Copies of this chain bind each other. A is one copy, B any other.
Amino acid sequence: MTEPRPGSRPTLEAVAEHAGVSRATASRVVNGGDGVRAHLVDRVRTAIRELGYVPNHAARTLVTRRTGAVAVIIAEPEIRIFSDPFFSRQVRGIAKELTAHDTQLVLLLVEDRGDYDRIERYLAGGHVDGALAFSLHTDDPLPAITRRIGMPTVYGGRPGWTTGTGEHGGEGVVYVDADNRGGAREAVRYLLAQGRRRIAHIAGPLDQTSAADRLSGYRDALAATGPELFAEGDFTPAGGARAMTELLHRDAGIDAVFAGNDLMATGALRVLREAGRTVPGDVALVGFDDAEPVAESADPPLTTVRQDIEGMGRLMARLLMHRLNGGPDGRIAPDPVITATALVRRASA
């Protein structure tokens, strides 16, 4: 082990020597620590602290040809992004992880399809090292763009844009998702176990896999007991209200509703109240998400399927950094990650 020499700026080599590791290992820790065993990370970090090592980012950028920035692309109009706490939670998780890697988060908003030409120019212009994209719709042009320009990208939500062409197969496309189908199945089974028999579903926009998968879970649970009844919403309170109105019109005897997200459940609550139905007395109601403050502050508070939204954001960012750093043995791209959901019981069901 070397002692710090006063007056000279410590090098990465000095850090490696001080920690008793290779230069490559020390470098990996400085660049985020991916693929380095925990006790070695600790030793390198101790050495960094003891020697007062300061990484030279400009030099690092030159050597690695990296910008130190990652684009986050949310394929929804800005009005949705700012009104649904799902998005802020996901961004929060991403921001925490990128900050831990000293990487700048660059948020790109997509108001409509016309914006993609500009976004492609920006991504192709070498201003970011990689991209995180979420809330994509089935025919979203983004995957083709990122493939064309060779931009490492991790997706939030199961990709739904390739059907049968094998393009996303096992390789290349990395994504993080919640167990939407399993969570939905659990919610509807819970309603069945409470003796509810006419259970309707308010689906999200069915060109998003999260909405389609939750509808599949609803169908799984009802398979044995009988007829499905669902209307498509758009993940907003207004869309939930419209769908609820339609469902009551089609079947006035509904005794339970599983809504594809909490915001649509709040819209449904309003319509049920206006129609003179009590919740949970006449109609039990279950949502999906549990992103504060929607489900908890509803009246009555919503039973809902919780997904770890912030955790999924962190995971997306971690997988991208892993990919950018080449992984411990130079391999790229682990498998997709599906995170568990959990039913949270409150007053509405």
Interface residues of A (CB under 8 A from B): 57-58, 61, 67-69, 78-79, 81-83, 85, 87-88, 91-92, 95, 99, 102-109, 111, 115, 118-119, 121-122, 125, 127-128
A174 to chain B, nearest CB (A): 24
Q: Which residue of B lies closest to A102 (CB)?
A: B118
A133 to chain B, nearest CB (A): 15
Partner of A95, one of B69, B109, B121: B109
Give the number of times this chain occurs in the complex, counting copies.
Answer: 2
Q: Are A78 and B95 in contact (CB under 8 A)?
A: yes
Q: Name 22 interchain pairs, CB-CB below 8 A, sorted by A.
A: A58-B121, A67-B125, A68-B121, A68-B125, A69-B127, A78-B91, A78-B92, A81-B88, A82-B85, A82-B87, A82-B91, A83-B88, A91-B109, A95-B111, A99-B115, A103-B118, A104-B108, A104-B118, A104-B119, A106-B122, A107-B107, A127-B127
Q: Which residue of B lies closest to A125 (CB)?
A: B67
Shortest Cβ-Cβ A-B pairs, 3 listed = A82-B88, A107-B107, A127-B127
Tell which of A61, A85, A104, A121 has the most Cβ of chain B within 10 Å: A104
A73 to chain B, nearest CB (A): 11
Residues on B with C-beta less than 8 A from A111 are 95, 99
Tell which of A69, A82, A119, A128 has the most Cβ of chain B within 10 Å: A82
Partner of A105, one of B67, B91, B108, B125: B108
